[in-house]
Amino acid sequence: MESTTGKARLRKALLDERATLAGREARDAALAARLGDELSRRAPRCVGFYWPIQGEFDARAVVSAWLAQASPEAPRLAALPVVTAPATPLVFHRWTPATPMKEGRYRIPVPADADVLVPDLLLVPCVGFTRDGLRLGYGGGFYDRTLHSMTPSPQTLGIAYDALEIEHLSAEAHDLALDAIVTESATFARPRGTHR
């Protein structure tokens, strides 16, 4: 099992790698196309995603395009996570491209209105990932707590770049594997029958 210090070192190395990735425009275009295909295929009603920080893939254009394809028969909603207090699950507030934003905790923008939604699909940013769905995050545990608290469990798609793949990551008791990891070149689905 990786020590806390080991994970912190790995996290820093991966964040540095992401910050200096070459060819980001082409990588982002490929990731956007792959993510758009996944949203069409999985057909969620409400997508929870994230405001991009520290060089994360910006999913706003993909989610906006997905929202624009809604119909009266198949409405679509999107929501952004809001940290209401430390060490608590995230709450999701409705977002559209026209939503007024305000500064939330950790200086991350959040919707100004508290229109709470419960996503049935979550896009989860990854600092690092394994092909079997394990994710290295920022260390705050927000997504782990959130996923443990959601019933029924939403579909989960990790969002990352190929360069952030880790060969092995020890799962801790609270870690939940994601259903799939989407990168610019592949979608790595968690093998059927494996536990979260």
Q: What is the CATH number of the domain that holds 18?
A: 3.40.50.10420
- Residue 1: the pLDDT is 46
Question: Is 70 exceeded by the pLDDT of residue 62?
Answer: yes
Q: Which range of residues forms the domain containing residue 17?
A: 4-189
CA-CA distance, 137 to 142, in Å (whole number)?
A: 9
Is omega for the bond preceding 152 within 30 degrees of 0, making it cis? yes
Asked whether residue 80 is assigned to any structural domain, the reply reads yes
Q: In angstroms, rounded to a whole number, what is the distance separating the alpha carbons of residues 127 and 191?
A: 21
CA distance linking residue 84 with residue 120, whole number of Å? 20
Does the annotation flag 6 for ligand binding?
no
Question: Binding site annotation covers 7?
Answer: yes
11, 128 contact by CB (below 8 A): yes
13 annotated among ligand-binding-site residues: no
∠ CA 75-80-114, rounded to 5°: 85
pLDDT tops 70 at residue 170: yes
**pLDDT at position 139:** 86
18 assigned ligand-binding residue: no
23 is in an annotated binding site: no
- 88, part of any domain: yes
Please indicate if the annotation marks 76 as binding a ligand: no
Q: Examine residue 194 and state whether it is found in any structural domain, yes or no.
A: no
Contact predicate 141/174, CB 8 Å: yes
Q: Flag whether 12 is marked binding.
A: no
Does a structural domain hold residue 195? no
104 is in an annotated binding site: no
Count: domains in the chain: 1
- Tell me whether residue 42 is in a domain: yes
Is 137 annotated for ligand binding? yes
Per DSSP, the three-state class of 109 is: strand
Tell me whether residue 50 is annotated as binding.
Answer: no
Residue 92 lies in a domain: yes
Q: What pLDDT score does 194 carry? A: 55
Any binding-site annotation on 11? yes
User: Rounded mean pLDDT of 57-78?
Assistant: 96
CB 178 within 8 A of CB 36: no
143 annotated among ligand-binding-site residues: yes
Annotation-wise, does 106 bind a ligand?
no
Q: Is 141 annotated as a binding residue?
A: yes
Q: Is residue 196 part of a domain?
A: no
Q: Is 188 annotated as a binding residue?
A: no
Q: Give the model's pLDDT for residue 64.
A: 98
Q: At 21, list the tokens.
A: 């990735």
CA pair distance 181, 149, nearest whole angstrom: 21
- Confidence check: pLDDT of 10 > 70: yes
pLDDT at position 140 over 90: no
pLDDT tens-digit map of 72-129: 999 999 999 999 988 899 999 999 999 999 999 889 999 999 999 999 999 999 999 9
Angle 132-18-50 from CA coordinates, rounded to 5°: 70
